Structure formats: structure tokens, C-alpha cells
Amino acid sequence: MAIDVLVAHPGEDASREPKKRGEVSSSRQTLPDGFRYSKRGSIEFLLPRKTEDEDEVWAWLCSPLEVLAETRSEDEKGWGLLVRVKTPDGLWHTQAVPRALFLAENGEVFSLLFNLGLKITPAKAGKERLRALLCMSSSKKRARTTTRVGWFGPRTFILPDAAFGECGNEHIVYQPEHPMPHAYALKGSLDGWRSTIAARAIGNSRLALAASIAFAGPLLQPLGIEGGGFHMRGDGSSGKTTALWVAGSVWGGGPMAGFLQSWRTTDNGLEARAVQHSDTFLPMDELGQATAVSAAKTIYMVANGQGKQRAGIAGEGRPVAEFRVLFLSTGEVSLAAKLAEDGLTSMAGQETRFVDMEADAGAGMGAFEDIHGEESAAAFSDAIKAAGATHYGHASRAFLRTLLAEPEEAFSEAHCLMSAFVARTCPKDATGQVARVAKRFAIVAASGEIAQQWGILPWPEGHAMDACARMFREWLNRRGSTGALEGVNALNQVRGIIEKHGASRFVPWNPGECPPVPSAPVINRLGFVRRDGDMATYYVLSQMFKQEVCKGLDPARAARELVKCGAITPDKRGSAASSVYLPGIGTGRCYVIDAEKLFADGGS
């Protein structure tokens, strides 16, 4: 059962809403001395008397503002007030306000209340009087706060404006340290969303995957699955952003960008967004707008679920922000290409946390395979985006209501579906890295199937599983190996060096030629090359192998991979580096690489 945290959702008149279980009553509190309610509900303050004989004079301070309860966190800290403000249109908005903001010099508390519709006297002392009113206000009623959305205990799920599950007798309210706008909004209807958005994902693997990703967030923590996500890469106007609209509409929307977030933000801004999207869904558009350094940091931060350590006013360590986020990113470049812009190399940990997928579905219509009768892929995309601006936010709440009604049954079903997916798609010889990615696809597939079983997604049974299985196989085929990515990257880098410099930085050394006779001066020599017909053997000097050929890699790991694929034959002691007589150098250590075997499996 859903229990609304707010007295009324924005845009609704609270006076017409019956009180729900777990809500705080909106009866007026007693105002501090020097303040009173007018007959119309606005607040007045007592002006100072010039003489003792002067009559009391009351002045208008602000439009109706009521304190519903005092708030505090689970550890009895982070105190604040749950207030509600009446707008000029006669509607009520409710907001949890940390007490720490009352004394902030930047006036953040005033901006927050003004944004809700509060009016205040333009008199010079107006803000200070309002600040005094907030500081002195109190209530006998209490509410528990959380600074992030998502799970609050094992049976309660919090959104900025609503709570789902068993809240007990205590009111629970979302109160971030610094309140910020959010897009967990409602518009249209669930039936409208099903017919105009979700139904169009049938027959479209990318859209089905995106919609399924959106439902997976609430299952991560209960099933012990780490955060991370997916990146849909493709040319402009390929339909990848349309997939974000489909997924984002599950949780909310609004004007312009809807539920979408931009990669163009600061580290602190993205951390705040991650906290706000914990256990739900984070759609990130256009990776190209981020810098390579910030993108690299973001992947680890979001996947690890922890923000930066910050110091308080006295230099003490403040609590580190924690979250668990599943994201879907889009962009025209891959993570590896983005990092390469600044000379960085993508690491295996980043690649497994940031699963790169091709947006093009191969049907000649960008990310789409079935445009459901529309004239073109562009018209199909426009129809989805128009629907995404009309119907949003209902699907996630329907999912949460059903999930919290019988959570153990839902988690058990998710486990079974995940096991079936992994058994069906993950190769038996897959390394841990491939298995981790398979598990991430599995939770997405399970979430989509569960949403289908609950009647939220109007799809045929197995549609989510099929879409996720196809996307996983495509990812694995592009990866080119079920082995560890460090090994794959090492072999690819050695191949790339020989492809690029095999004719320019290796001194030709043919049988019978001593010293070697280069056809042109060799600058920045990496070693020697001996050719026998079409066969070639490269003698890579030991230091050049470590410093240049394996730059950014673990040389020992690269050497082991070369031995494993047969490109290097170890010496009698089992070492990958051999002692060889080299022309002009004498006996020295080098890595003898058989080019035919190096390129035989996965080479260019």
C-alpha cells in the first residue's frame, strides 16, 4: 500500500484530500511569541513598541505557512521542520527543511520556500523575521527523515513525494541536506503509458532493454547486486535518446528533458543526482559532453556507491554519501574512445561496470527494428517522445506497490529468472568479468519479466528475456573473448604495436645477415624482425616491451597472455623473456613473438 509522504502532491489541494494512514495532521501549531495567524491564515508579526503606552501593531509577514512536524534522522540528528506553504492559487506544497538552512548566509531557505509559492513582506526586516519564526517554531509531532530516495529499512521505499510499504506509525519524509528539484512527477495515466510507450517497445530489443533497466533499480539492494549500468553508443539521431525517454518515463518526467540527466555536470552535482536516484534509475544523456577524467571517476563512483569524503566546518570528516544506482547512458563514442581523448586507457573494472552496447539494431532504422506502422524511424521516435511528455511516473509506482505487497515472493521470482537467464546465455568457460556482466543483464531481464507478470508492461511472456539475451550476446561478440579483459586488451595492444610499427621500428634481420641491413634508418628501435617468406618473428627488446609495448598494462600479465596464445615459447626456466644473441648488441633478454600465432586468434 502506498502512503503519501506529502500532505498533497504538488498541484493538488490538500484541503480536499482525506488524511491517509501515516500522514501528519495539518492542524495549525501554536506560533512563537510575537507571531500570529490572521483571519485568512497568513502570518503576522508584532512590531516593536516605541513607548510602553503604545497599542500593539501587527504587520503582515507572509502568506500561509504551517509547521506539520519536527523531523530528524534515524540517529536523532539532522533535525528540521516539515512545513507546508499555500500558493497564490490556493494549493498547498509540503517540504522538509533542514534546520541547518535557517542560519545559512546564502539564503537557501528563502529560495526554497519562495519557489514553493510563499509570499513575504518586502519590508527590510521581512527575511529576518521569517528566519526568526522558523528558528523558534516547534511541534510535538515527529517525522523520521532520509536524505536519499530508495530503501528505508527492509519494507519501506521512499520517493521525494511518497512512501511505499510498511511505514508503521511514524511518518517518513525525504529531507536531503540541500533540497534540489527532482523529476519524480506524475502525468497522464498508467494505461496511457502502456499503450503509447511500453507497447511500442514490443519487437524493439533496445527499447525493451531500456524499459526493463528502469524497473531493476529497486531489486538491486535486496538481491545484493552492485550498482553500475549500460552505455548505448551510436551516431546522432540513431534513436538512442529515445530509449532513454522510454526508460525515464517509468519514473517521471517534465518539460524539456523529462527525467533525463546530462553528463555535463560537476562531480559534486553528479554525486547529488546519484543520491537522488538511489535504488531507482539514472538516465545519463550524451557522454561526449563529459571530460575524460570526470567520466572515468564517475564510473567508479556510481558503481561503488560512495561519494567523496568531505570535511566539515571544523575539519572533521563528514559522512560519505552512499547510494546504489543503475544507469543507462548514451553517447556517440564509447568509454574507451572518450578516455583516449586525454590519453587514458579504459580499465577492465570500468568496462564491466559500464557495459558498452551498439545502438544500431541492424534493421536499417537505427535503434529500432519495428516502427509499429509509423512512416519512418524519425516519426516513430517523435511519437514516443510526445507520449513520454504526456504519460509518465505511474509505472514505477505501480511496480513499487506490488513489490512491497509481497516482497519475498518477488525476490524469489527474480532469483529464479536470473538463474535461468545466466544458464541460457552465459558461456560455461566465462571468466568472472563476463559473469558479472551476464548477472547485470540477468537482473534487468528478470525485472522486465516481473513487470510483465504484474501487468505493468503489456508485453508477451519472455519478451524481456529475449531482448536482454540478444543484447548480451551482441556485447560478448564485440568483446571477442570470454576471458579476462586485461588479457584481451594486452593482446590487442601488442597486435596494435606490431601493426603500426612492424615496418618502421623493428630492424630487419634476415637469415645470413649479420649485422642486419635496414632498408632505412630505424628510429626509436623496439627490436628486430626476422622474416622467412610470409612468416615473421619479432624480437622485442626487454625494456621496450615493458616501457612502450606494454604502456599502461602489466608487462608480466601481457607476457603470460602471449605465452597462453602460443605467440611466445617460454625458455627452459619457464620465463617469457629469452636470452638471444642480438646483432650489434650481443646476448640480451628479449621477447620472441611469433606473429602468425599472435594474429591467429582474434587478430586483425
For the record, the C-alpha cell of 320 comes out as: 560519505
Inter-CA distances, 285 with 230, 264, 489, Å: 12, 9, 27
What pLDDT does 310 receive? 62
What pLDDT does 576 receive? 93
* pLDDT, mean of residues 388-396: 96
**Is a pLDDT exceeding 50 seen at residue 4?**
no
What pLDDT does 16 receive? 33
What pLDDT does 422 receive? 97
Binned at pLDDT 50, 70 and 90, residue 8 comes out as very low
What pLDDT does 595 receive? 93
Cα–Cα distance for residue pair 19/8, rounded to 1 Å: 10
What pLDDT does 167 receive? 72
pTM for this predicted structure: 0.80
pLDDT tens digits along 171-202: 888 888 777 788 999 999 999 999 999 999 99
Domains and CATH numbers, the chain: 2-174 (no CATH), 190-405 (3.40.50), 485-598 (no CATH)
**Above pLDDT 70, what percent of the chain?**
91
Cα–Cα distance for residue pair 558/140, rounded to 1 Å: 67
DSSP, collapsed to helix, strand or coil, labels residue 416 as: helix
Binned at pLDDT 50, 70 and 90, residue 341 comes out as confident
What pLDDT does 258 receive? 82
**Is a pLDDT exceeding 80 seen at residue 346?**
no
What pLDDT does 457 receive? 98
pLDDT tens digits along 478-501: 887 777 777 888 888 899 999 999
Binned at pLDDT 50, 70 and 90, residue 5 comes out as very low
What pLDDT does 17 receive? 38
Binned at pLDDT 50, 70 and 90, residue 466 comes out as very high
What pLDDT does 582 receive? 87
**Above pLDDT 90, what percent of the chain?**
60
What pLDDT does 317 receive? 57
Given strand 65-72, what is the order of strands in its sheet?
92-98, 80-86, 65-72, 142-146, 171-174
Cα–Cα distance for residue pair 260/249, rounded to 1 Å: 9
Residue 351: which of 305, 299, 390 has the closest Cα?
A: 299
Which amino acid, one-letter code, is at 536? Answer: A
pLDDT tens digits along 418-460: 999 999 999 998 888 899 999 999 999 999 999 999 999 999 9
pLDDT tens digits along 60-107: 999 999 999 999 998 898 899 999 999 999 999 999 999 999 988 888
What pLDDT does 143 receive? 92
pLDDT tens digits along 211-256: 999 999 999 999 999 888 999 999 888 899 999 999 999 999 987 7
What pLDDT does 518 receive? 55
pLDDT tens digits along 544-568: 999 999 988 889 989 998 998 899 9
What pLDDT does 601 receive? 62
| DSSP state letters, 442-480 | HHHHHHHHHHHHTTSS---TTHHHHHHHHHHHHHHHHH-
What pLDDT does 27 receive? 61
Torsions phi, psi of 358, nearest 5?
A: -85, 130
Cα–Cα distance for residue pair 338/344, rounded to 1 Å: 9
Residue 352: which of 431, 418, 414, 279 has the closest Cα?
A: 431
Binned at pLDDT 50, 70 and 90, residue 268 comes out as confident
Residue 583 buriedness (CB in 10 A; 0-12 / 13-18 / 19+): middle
Cα–Cα distance for residue pair 280/148, rounded to 1 Å: 11
Q: What is the DSSP letter of 270?
A: H
What pLDDT does 81 receive? 95
pLDDT tens digits along 16-35: 333 443 455 556 778 999 99
Most confident of 74-83, 257-266, 267-276, 438-447: 438-447
Lowest mean pLDDT among 124-128, 315-319, 397-401, 412-416: 315-319
Lowest mean pLDDT among 39-43, 547-551, 600-604: 600-604
Number of neighbouring beta carbons within 10 Å of residue 372 = 14
- Per the prediction, the chain carries an average pLDDT of 87
DSSP, collapsed to helix, strand or coil, labels residue 268 as: helix
**Is a pLDDT exceeding 80 seen at residue 600?**
yes
What pLDDT does 22 receive? 44
